[in-house]
Amino acid sequence: MENEVVNARLLAVYRGRINAVIDYIEKHISEALTLEELSQVANFSKFHFHRVFFAMTGERLYEFIQRLRIQKGATLLSNRSDLSITDIALECGFSGSAAFSRRFRAVFQKTPSQWRKDCHLLGNFEQDDRKMDQAQSNAWKDKIPPILYNYDILREKRRTTMNEENRKVTIKTFPTMTAAYVRYMGPYKGNSKLFESLFSKLCAWAEPRGLLKSPKAQFLIIYHDDPEITAEEKLRVSVCVTVPPETAVDGEIGKMEIAAGAYASAYFELGDDEYQQAWDWVYGVWLPSSGYVPDDRPCFEMYPPVEKERTDGKTPVEICIPVKPV
């Protein structure tokens, strides 16, 4: 029994160190990242670090970095028409557009230019009601790349049953926030028990330290990857509570900064089965006609304090998407 406790604590320490490395990679993704540099962040020797990283993530270090770079590139191609392909390549840590294009095509079977063109086609489709009405034929369905969208899902997004008054979007400027977190990698869609477990683990750490008593404490869920382009088993999600910057963390609990700036904050009161519908409405209906585009900071859900227990099964939540004017 004692050995099991020791092993569990050691596993938590290893997870915490690897999560710190992943945070560092994301923050410095445009830079040349070396094994020596990352092993120092993890506080492991170079000899052991890449083995531990593979054991904890299921990916080789180089493959993981390349995947994050390509996925960021795909997101920027979709959302940042103001950036050239060369700009995006450099922003994602590639030596130039040629290296970026080769790797991108190997992953997505299309060039960055074609990906951007397909995303532009999709954006026009979402915004044009007339074309939506004419889409009874399969003409538009055939033009939209399956990897990006599904026509039937798009129609369901437009037919959302959420009340109009349950959609309130404002542009807010958030300061830099420090958050303690528990992270999970793998499928999470619709798994309420998973999120309950993650929040319980986080609260068990935070409550004895008095961190939940602060009126400034906010609970967040940060989604690090785009589920449209990331395999389910590679999706990362962090359940967080905001903490003072000087807060010390240990074991599996990590700490990161959430960048300041403008966010589109969409307030909803949601049942357990309505979260995806809310996200789809923000991205598929509100955003294309808002005059804003998302930038490359992570999006998150923020859970306002609830003064009394609700009986309608709804949870107040703000979906926060980092944005910049078009």
Within the chain, where are the H helices?
2-27, 35-42, 46-57, 61-79, 85-91, 97-108, 112-127, 129-134, 139-143, 151-158, 192-206, 275-281
Residue tagged 């299309």 (tokens) = 110
Domain for residue 114, yes or no? no
Domain for residue 221, yes or no? yes
* Same domain for 197 and 135: no
SS3 62: helix
Domain for residue 8, yes or no? yes
Structural domain total, the chain = 3
pLDDT for residue 295: 84
* Same domain for 148 and 263: no
* Same domain for 173 and 321: yes
pLDDT for residue 106: 94
Domain for residue 115, yes or no? no
* CATH number for the domain that contains residue 205: 3.20.80.10
* Same domain for 178 and 62: no
Neighbours of 259 (CB within 10 A): 16
* Same domain for 309 and 206: yes
* Same domain for 127 and 75: no
SS3 221: strand
Cα gap 75→296, rounded to integer Å: 8
The domain containing residue 146 runs over which residues?
120-161
* Same domain for 70 and 41: yes
Question: Is the Cβ–Cβ distance between 102 and 66 less than 8 Å?
Answer: no
* Same domain for 135 and 95: no
* Same domain for 88 and 200: no
Q: pLDDT tens for the chain, 326 residues: list them.
A: 555 655 678 888 899 999 999 999 999 999 999 999 999 999 999 888 988 999 999 999 999 999 999 999 998 998 888 899 999 999 999 999 999 999 999 999 999 999 998 876 655 544 444 343 333 334 333 433 333 333 344 334 444 445 555 578 999 999 999 999 999 999 998 888 999 999 999 999 999 999 998 888 999 999 998 888 899 999 999 999 999 999 999 989 999 999 999 999 999 998 888 888 899 899 888 988 898 988 878 899 999 877 677 778 888 999 999 998 88
Domain for residue 102, yes or no? yes
What's this model's pTM, rounded to 2 decimal places?
0.78
* Same domain for 215 and 137: no
pLDDT for residue 168: 83
Neighbours of 196 (CB within 10 A): 11
Buried b (16+ CB within 10 A) or exposed e, 51-88: ebbeebbeeebeebbbbbbbbbbbbbbbbbeeeebeeb
Look up residue 140 and give its amino acid.
W
* Same domain for 268 and 203: yes
* Same domain for 201 and 154: no
